[in-house]
């Protein structure tokens, strides 16, 4: 991992001593990425179990989300699912290392594509593609796995991302992503770059399943609960005529890699009602999450709204 030429005109001097712990963390990530895959997954599961103890607040959020979304589970079933979720989150951390530093042969060997013909169908339309996804714990690796298939169909691939606060992590993440997916990453607030990529025919990975602000959202059902949901996909597709192709990544139950799930391109989309579009997208996400709920990212306060906060701690009683 090269550390030369770190100075950039709009970034801090990342070789300063205060950044050394971050570089050590990146170095550890690289070392772990060189281990055999099954060893990585065992270590990741252990890391997830440790995280459940270290961040009890996040465990509480996930438990509340599971109570809301799967009310028929018994307490024992929900706790088992919660434990499995944290193991999956820990594995996701190791999978990020595979995505950033794993060899192409290793990554290709772990990918098992379902529904490639749907992507081929979308390619014949001569438009950009929105790879509509969701925050599963393997999402980072899934984008890299899909890139060779997209390249074979003539697409340059890019993804929207929220820059992390740590500038070292941001630098490494951006460089490694751009090295593997073929296109420059698009910051989450750079709408102009996003629309330009779709208009020139790129494939843009986009996950809009986390809580949205009022300006770009509608309150619609998600797992039977009202949730403020992004309508950005409808607007992007309407402005660029891009084809929307649902694309998800799930870890295989047999431990032999990952399912790249490609569903049929959305027809009659966007429709006349953005809220109906958002509910339609939520239903697609729900169907995939239900295949293995432990692999969905339940740590986010998905159902918090201005008039409703299920995550607020109860008031202490005397």
Q: pLDDT (tens digit, 9 = 90+) per residue, 269-309? A: 999 999 999 999 999 999 999 999 999 999 999 999 888 89
Q: Give the model's confidence band at 44: pLDDT under 50 very low, under 70 low, under 90 confident, else very high.
A: very high
- What does the pLDDT look like over 71-123, one tens digit per residue? 999 999 999 999 999 999 999 999 999 999 999 999 999 999 999 999 999 99
Q: Give the model's confidence band at 215: pLDDT under 50 very low, under 70 low, under 90 confident, else very high.
A: confident
Q: Give the model's confidence band at 9: pLDDT under 50 very low, under 70 low, under 90 confident, else very high.
A: very low
- 245 - beta bridge partners? 131
Q: Give the model's confidence band at 11: pLDDT under 50 very low, under 70 low, under 90 confident, else very high.
A: low
CA 302 centroid distance within chain: 14
Q: In what order do the strands lie in the sheet with 186-187?
A: 111-114, 258-262, 243-251, 129-133, 203-207, 157-161, 186-187
> Which residues make Cβ contacts (< 8 Å) with residue 258, sequence separation at least 6?
110, 111, 112, 138, 141, 142, 145, 249, 250, 251, 252
User: Does 155 reside within a domain?
Assistant: yes
Q: Give the model's confidence band at 1: pLDDT under 50 very low, under 70 low, under 90 confident, else very high.
A: very low
Higher pLDDT, 12 or 149: 149
User: Does 72 reside within a domain?
Assistant: yes
CATH of the domain at 146: 3.40.1130
Task: Give the domain extent around 162.
Answer: 18-294
Alpha-carbon gap, residue 255 to 258, rounded angstroms:
8
Whether 3 has a pLDDT exceeding 60, the answer reads no
Q: What total number of domains does the chain contain?
A: 1
User: Does 211 reside within a domain?
Assistant: yes
User: Does 244 reside within a domain?
Assistant: yes
User: Does 247 reside within a domain?
Assistant: yes
User: Does 314 reside within a domain?
Assistant: no
Q: Which two tokens stand for residue 124?
A: 């014949």
Percent pLDDT > 90 in the chain is 71
User: Does 68 reside within a domain?
Assistant: yes
User: Does 305 reside within a domain?
Assistant: no
């Amino acid at each position: 991992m090269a550390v030369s030429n770190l100075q950039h005109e709009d970034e801090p001097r990342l070789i300063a001593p205060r950044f050394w712990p971050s570089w050590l963390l990146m170095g550890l990530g690289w070392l772990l990425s060189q281990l055999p895959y099954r060893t990585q997954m065992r270590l990741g599961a252990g890391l997830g179990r440790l995280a459940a103890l270290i961040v009890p607040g996040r465990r509480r959020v996930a438990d509340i989300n599971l109570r809301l979304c799967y009310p028929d589970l018994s307490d024992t079933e929900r706790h088992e699912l919660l434990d499995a979720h944290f193991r999956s989150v820990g594995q996701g951390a190791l999978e990020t290392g595979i995505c950033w530093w794993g060899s192409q042969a290793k990554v290709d060997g772990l990918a098992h594509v379902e529904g490639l013909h749907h992507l081929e169908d979308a390619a014949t339309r001569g438009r950009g593609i929105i790879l509509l996804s969701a925050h599963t714990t393997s999402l980072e690796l899934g984008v890299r796995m899909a890139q060779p298939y997209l390249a074979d169909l003539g697409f340059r691939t890019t993804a929207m991302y929220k820059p992390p606060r740590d500038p070292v992590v941001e630098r490494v993440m951006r460089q490694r992503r751009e090295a593997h997916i073929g296109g420059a990453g698009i910051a989450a607030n750079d709408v102009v770059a996003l629309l330009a990529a779709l208009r020139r025919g790129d494939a843009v990975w986009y996950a809009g399943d986390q809580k949205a602000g009022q300006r770009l959202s509608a309150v619609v059902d998600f797992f039977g609960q009202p949730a403020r949901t992004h309508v950005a996909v409808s607007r992007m597709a309407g402005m660029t005529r891009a084809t929307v192709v649902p694309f998800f990544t799930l870890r295989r139950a047999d431990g032999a890699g990952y399912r790249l799930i490609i569903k049929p391109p959305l027809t009659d989309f966007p429709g006349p009602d953005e809220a109906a579009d958002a509910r339609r997208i939520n239903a697609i996400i729900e169907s995939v999450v239900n295949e293995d709920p432990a692999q969905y990212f339940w740590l986010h306060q998905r159902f918090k709204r201005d008039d409703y906060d299920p995550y607020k701690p109860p008031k202490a009683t005397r």
